[in-house]
Amino acid sequence: MMHMAQLAAPSATDAPTLTTLPAETLALRDTVRAWANERLAPHVRRLDEDDAAAFDWDLVREGHNLGLTRLVVPKQFGGLGQGEFGVAVALEELAAIDAGFALIFGATMLGQAPVLLSGDPRLQARFLPLFCGDEPVLACNAITEDQAGCDLLIPENAQFAQGVMRARREGDHYVLDGSKKFITNGKVATYATVFANMEGHPGATGLTCFVVMLDRPGVTLGDVADKMSYRSCLGTEMHFDHVIVPEENVVGGEGGGVYINVQQMNMARAAVAAISTGVARGALEQAIEWAGKRVQGGMPLRKHQFTARKLAEMSAKVDAARMLYLRAAHLADNEIPAPAYEPAVAKLFADRIAIEVATEAMGLMGARGYLRDHGMEKRLRDALGARIYEGTPEVLALAVTEAIYDDDDDF
Amino acid sequence: MGVFTSKQQATSVFTTLFGILLDDERFASTVRKENLSVQFFHSDPDLTVYVSADGVWIDETPSAPVISIKMSCDNADALWSGRLLMPIALATRKIRIKGSVAKVIEFVPLLQPAFDRYPSIAAQAGVGAGA
Ligand SMILES: Cc1cc2nc3c(=O)[nH]c(=O)nc-3n(C[C@H](O)[C@H](O)[C@H](O)COP(=O)(O)OP(=O)(O)OC[C@H]3O[C@@H](n4cnc5c(N)ncnc54)[C@H](O)[C@@H]3O)c2cc1C
């Protein structure tokens, strides 16, 4: 049974809170907040209503200039050298305005993560400087497939995964065949980290991660998914037909994909929890503003006790979600392998409260909450998105209970 | 029995291994410049190995290490020999690391000379002969 000490919050000295963020993180938060409010916010409705395949490279370029495409790239390659902590804080700011834009940069980091986690200096020197030039470069992380969804996110179920993309070694290279689905940035990325199963291994038990440049012969991109929200980022099918990948592009060795996948998932869950927290915060702030000025029954809504109770509950939920993701991100920056419990708990909670807070906030705005004009209904649609990627509630529950019953010692 | 027949044998192998690393200019200068220290917590046989720019300590902790690494001596042997890949070892929790991930990412590539030299050091010390 997991020791209770692991369930308790770390001591005050090693668990920074939003009031004690390191100066560097505070500066990053304020920069991203200012950009999101001043530059991104005016475009949110257009980004939401545009054609599914529309993509705003100009805004992405502005984000790139802020460093959002190279947050986790080590300083030696020209990046900002941030850990999950800084990433999560930045993504909350973006998601408070538009979750889709947060995911453009988040998915790029997911494409960078395997290269970072490989610990392979040659791979790092080849791929990470790409993100540090004058023009924005995006990456993507391709796991999900038509038949294999959650089975690729639950390590114990890897053996049951069906129809997984195949990899075959031929001399000094590998040949990839198969398709991926719903891949964020697939349409606009320069490379993908692609997870394929080595031939001869059942299910996904031989999962191996490859860096695949997307201009390779045999790579074709399908239509962009017509999503309910998150429309500013593009989710795409990707087809790999006899794509030849040099052996130097294997990340973490043959069969190492299971580790890379689990490790990056545990790191990313803190960041996705931050996205959900941001969506909830955006809805809360809008509700606070509305309830402060909308008068019914002779006084502002906020003075009505029922409304006050709702606002207080919403506020407590957002604060709690933030504390959970900060704890998870902090631990993910200080343990290898990253812990499974704290990030899963943070995401499980934040995904749920984002939906609850956005629903309440919409209700507080009455009919206006239901209209596109005010943007609240879009926040609710955003809130429903993060519940799917990087672990559904069911997948997270399995990760949480696996950790609770884990009999690991207390190292 | 594991691949190391005694604690003495493990101590001798790891002291030599990290001594070689400290002779490596890139390792030594980076460790000094970044004020890095790492402590390995080995089991079967049980011993700790503390490495900083100032030397190698067995079963002593001169100051709190920046990076702590836990693994059995058998897994250490497999890792340094190249039979156990770091990503797989981490996935299966055969190796666990505590400390700033950014520092670890910086530190791991510096270990290359240890990977290069370990097989001959281990063979010379008769590691695995009793297994
Ligand atoms: C906005 C968005 C962005 C995305 N970006 C990416 C990306 O960049 N890269 C990528 O690879 N994928 C991406 N995805 C895909 C996403 O990761 C998958 O959709 C997700 O893993 C679920 O897979 P699935 O849709 O096939 O659902 P399924 O696996 O078919 O699951 C359907 C339902 O069954 C439940 N279920 C499944 N297995 C179990 C089980 N063992 N126990 C209990 N319940 C179970 C699930 O919780 C879910 O409710 C994205 C999705 C969205 C919505």
CATH number of the domain to which A31 belongs: 1.10.540.10
Residues A290 and A243 in one domain: no
CB A85 within 8 A of CB A330: yes
DSSP notation for A348-390: HHHHHHHHHHHHHHHHHTHHHHHSGGGSHHHHHHHHHHTTTTT
Distance A149 CA to ligand 1 centre (A): 5
Same domain, A270 and A379: yes
Cα–Cα distance, A211 to A173 (Å, whole number)? 12
CATH number for the domain harbouring residue A245: 2.40.110.10
The 10 Å Cβ neighbour count of residue A320 is 15
Residue A363 shares a structural domain with residue A295? yes
**Same domain membership, residue A389 and residue A356:** yes
Which residue, chain included where needed, has tokens 């560097």? Answer: A24
Domain boundary among A85, A101, A132: A132
**pTM score, two decimals?**
0.90
Q: Where are the beta strands (DSSP E) in chain B?
A: 37-43, 47-52, 55-58, 67-72, 96-98
Domain range enclosing A215: 139-256
> Is residue A171 over pLDDT 90?
yes
For chain B, 131 residues long, give each residue's pLDDT as a single digit of tens: 789 999 999 999 999 999 999 999 999 999 999 899 999 999 999 999 999 999 999 999 999 999 999 999 999 999 999 888 777 788 778 899 999 888 887 788 788 899 999 999 999 999 977 54
Q: Which residue has the tokens 């529950």?
A: A397
A195: CB partners within 8 A, 6+ apart = A142, A143, A152, A165, A204, A207, A208, A209, A210, A257, A260, A261
The residue count for chain A: 411
What's the CA-to-centroid distance between A390 and ligand 1, angstroms?
8
Number of the ligand 1 atom closest to the C-alpha atom of A110:
8
Token pair 């490379």: residue: A191
A126 plus A22 within the same structural domain: yes
Q: How far is the CA of B45 from the CAs of A11, A171, B67, B117, in angstroms?
A: 32, 41, 21, 22
Q: Residue A315 in contact with residue A287, Cβ under 8 Å?
A: no
A179's CB contacts (< 8 A; 6+ apart) are A145, A146, A165, A222, A237, A238, A239, A240
Residues of chain A found within 8 Å of residue B68, distances taken between Cβ atoms: 411
Q: A50: Cβ–Cβ under 8 A, 6 or more apart, which residues?
A: A231
Tell me, yes or no, whether A292 and A242 share the same domain. no
Q: What mean pLDDT comes out for the span A338-360?
A: 97
What does DSSP say about strands B47-52 and B96-98: parallel, antiparallel, or unpaired? unpaired
Strands A173-184 and A166-170: what pairing? Answer: antiparallel
Q: pLDDT digit string (tens) for B50-74? A: 999 999 999 999 999 999 999 999 9
Q: Where are chain B's structural domains?
A: 7-119
Of the listed ranges A158-162, A167-171, A195-199, A372-376, the one predicted with least confidence: A158-162
Judge contact between A323 and A17, C-beta under 8 A.
yes
Name which of A26-30, A69-73, A334-338 the model is least confident about: A334-338
**Shortest alpha-carbon distance between residue B54 and chain A (Å):** 24
CA dihedral B69, B71, B75, B81 (to 10 degrees): 20
pLDDT tens for each residue of A379-402: 999 999 999 999 999 999 999 998
Give contacts of B82 with chain A, Cβ < 8 Å: none
Shared domain check, A152 and A190: yes
Give the DSSP letter of residue A225. P
* Amino acid symbol at A141: N
Q: How many domains does chain A have?
A: 3
Classified as helix, coil or strand, B40 is: strand
Q: Do residue A368 and residue A266 come from a single domain?
A: yes
Least confident residue range of A18-22, A182-186, A366-370, A398-402: A18-22
Domain final position from A99, A132, A165: A132
Q: Read off the CATH number of the domain in which A325 is found.
A: 1.20.140.10
CB distance B101–A411 less than 8 Å?
no
CATH of domain B7-119: 3.30.1050.10
Q: Are residues A262 and A402 in the same domain?
A: yes
Of A349, A351, A343, A355, nearest in space to A381 by CA: A355
CA distances from A236 to A144, A185, A211, A215, A225 (A): 11, 7, 18, 16, 6
Q: CB within 6 Å of ligand 1 — which residues?
A: A 107, 140-144, 149-150, 153-154, 157, 182-184, 230, 235, 385, 388-389, 392, 394-395
* Same-domain pairing of A263 and A402: yes
Domain boundary among A256, A284, A314: A256
Q: Judge whether A4 lies within some domain.
A: no
Residue A16 has pLDDT above 70, yes or no: no
Residue A202 belongs to a domain: yes
Please tell me the predicted confidence (pLDDT) of residue A211.
98
